[in-house]
């Protein structure tokens, strides 16, 4: 067990990164978080701050102009941004989700073409897997891609696409051979400016209101054949490999939201007085805070352990893939369940004030809910874990 602990213990460099991201988030992102939520607008200030500090897509390798950050560093960036604004944390998280299929399976030419602009901050990347009738059953998608000479023509609808309309690039999964089920699904890069690409109205959501969620419509979208990611029929396998890695980023988001809620609640109970003393002096309140902190630390250790396994897979370690599938699902499931409990308790600790939009914990509670749903519901995560028990 000691050697395993060494895999995910943060280094001095990781803690320096945390300090710098936290300072940036508190100075440049936190002041706009309530307004972003209230107005349901994209957090442009956060994007500008992250791009200016090369934190918008730290996962991109140095060979394509990126920071070349490891999986744990990426987790820390997302965690610290989510601590102040859940919507803003989806900028680095979804940039990784959208571009990772290209990193995992794309040609060298495709990597150069799309990863370099992402690393520079000239573009954002989104991920198009889900459809109106294909959510948890992603293999039941109906979007089709038909070969026509040197091109593929795509038709279909993708739903629940994070940052749709803002992102310039989209990894799109489509059926190229209906007779082969999931082995007949291929992956493509579609650009926002491709003819035939359009977007639905933004969804009116409970939380993460600053991150637009829209349908993506593909109407006879003709793209060059060299925009296929990997070989024909390998798209679904690439999609599942991607989720093994990126479920950890949702765990990081949940972890950050939970930490933000605990930090605010701690400050509040130290100041709020009833019966002649701070409510933080009452044992019932202390026990709530202790449970919240315990769950956060457990979620953090599991999330960091999963990040270490993600890095081992990237390095090609033997047997690491099966290990990652379980740990990625476990981290996402546990951290998001914990975040929902912790943010709910934070609202409780603030009493009536916690139920108002004048205080941030109700926003954090709303933001936390989606982490139990997207990138695979927590019911699906439990299925994945059961099939990949260590």
Give 46-73 as a DSSP string: HHHHHHHTT-SSTTS-GGGTS----HHH
Question: In Å, what is the CA distance from 367 to each residue of 63, 205, 375?
Answer: 35, 10, 15
Residue 217 phi, psi (nearest 5): -105, 130
Question: In Å, what is the CA distance from 256 to each residue of 22, 94, 158, 291, 368?
Answer: 11, 16, 28, 16, 10
The residues annotated with a catalytic role in the active site are 375
Give 106-136 as a DSSP string: --HHHHHHHHHHHHHTS--EEEE--BTTBSS
Strands 213-224 and 185-191, how do they pair? Answer: unpaired
Residues forming a β-bridge with 162: 213
Query: Measured in Å, how far apart are the chain's first and last C-alpha atoms?
Result: 14
**Measuring CA to CA, which residue among 267, 245, 254 is closest to residue 327?**
245
Q: How far apart are CA 177 and CA 106, in angstroms?
A: 20
Residue listed under structure tokens 């730290």: 58
Q: How far apart are CA 150 and CA 223, in angstroms?
A: 9
Q: Supply the DSSP symbol for 182.
A: G
Three-state SS at 90: helix
Give 316-329 as a DSSP string: T-TTHHHHHHHHHH
And the tokens for 64?
């394509």
């Amino acid at each position: 067990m000691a050697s395993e602990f060494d895999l995910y213990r943060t280094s001095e460099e990781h803690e320096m990164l945390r300090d710098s991201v936290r300072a940036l988030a508190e100075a440049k992102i936190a002041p706009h978080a309530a307004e972003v939520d209230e107005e349901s607008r994209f957090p442009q200030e956060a994007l500008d701050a992250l791009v200016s500090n090369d934190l918008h897509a730290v996962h991109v390798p140095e060979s394509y102009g990126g920071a070349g950050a490891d999986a744990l560093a990426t987790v820390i960036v997302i965690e610290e941004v989510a601590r102040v604004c859940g919507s803003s944390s989806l900028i680095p998280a979804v940039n990784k989700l959208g571009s990772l299929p290209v990193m995992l399976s794309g040609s060298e030419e495709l990597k150069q073409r799309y990863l370099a602009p992402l690393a520079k901050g000239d573009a954002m990347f989104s991920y198009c897997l889900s459809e109106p009738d294909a959510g948890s059953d992603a293999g039941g998608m109906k979007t089709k891609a038909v070969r026509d000479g040197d091109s593929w023509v795509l038709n279909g609808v993708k739903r629940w696409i994070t940052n749709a309309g803002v992102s310039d690039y989209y990894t799109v999964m489509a059926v190229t051979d209906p007779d082969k089920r999931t082995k007949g699904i291929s992956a493509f890069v579609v650009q926002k400016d491709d003819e035939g690409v359009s977007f639905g109205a933004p969804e009116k959501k409970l939380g993460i209101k600053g991150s637009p969620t829209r349908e993506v419509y593909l109407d006879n979208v003709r793209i060059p054949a060299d925009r296929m990611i990997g070989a024909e029929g390998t798209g679904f396998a690439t999609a599942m490999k991607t989720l093994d890695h990126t479920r950890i980023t949702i765990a990081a988001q949940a972890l950050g939201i939970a930490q933000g809620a605990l930090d605010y609640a701690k400050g509040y109970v130290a100041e709020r007085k009833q019966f002649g003393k701070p409510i933080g002096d009452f044992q019932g309140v202390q026990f709530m805070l202790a449970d919240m902190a315990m769950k956060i630390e457990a979620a953090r250790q599991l999330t960091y352990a999963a990040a270490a396994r993600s890095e081992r897979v990237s390095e090609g370690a033997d047997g690491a893939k099966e290990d990652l599938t379980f740990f990625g699902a476990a981290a996402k499931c546990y951290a998001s369940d914990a975040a929902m409990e912790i943010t709910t308790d934070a609202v409780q600790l603030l009493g009536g004030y916690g139920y108002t939009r004048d205080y941030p914990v109700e926003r954090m509670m709303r933001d936390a809910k989606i982490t139990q749903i997207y990138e695979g519901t927590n019911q699906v995560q439990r299925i994945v874990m059961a099939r990949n028990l260590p």
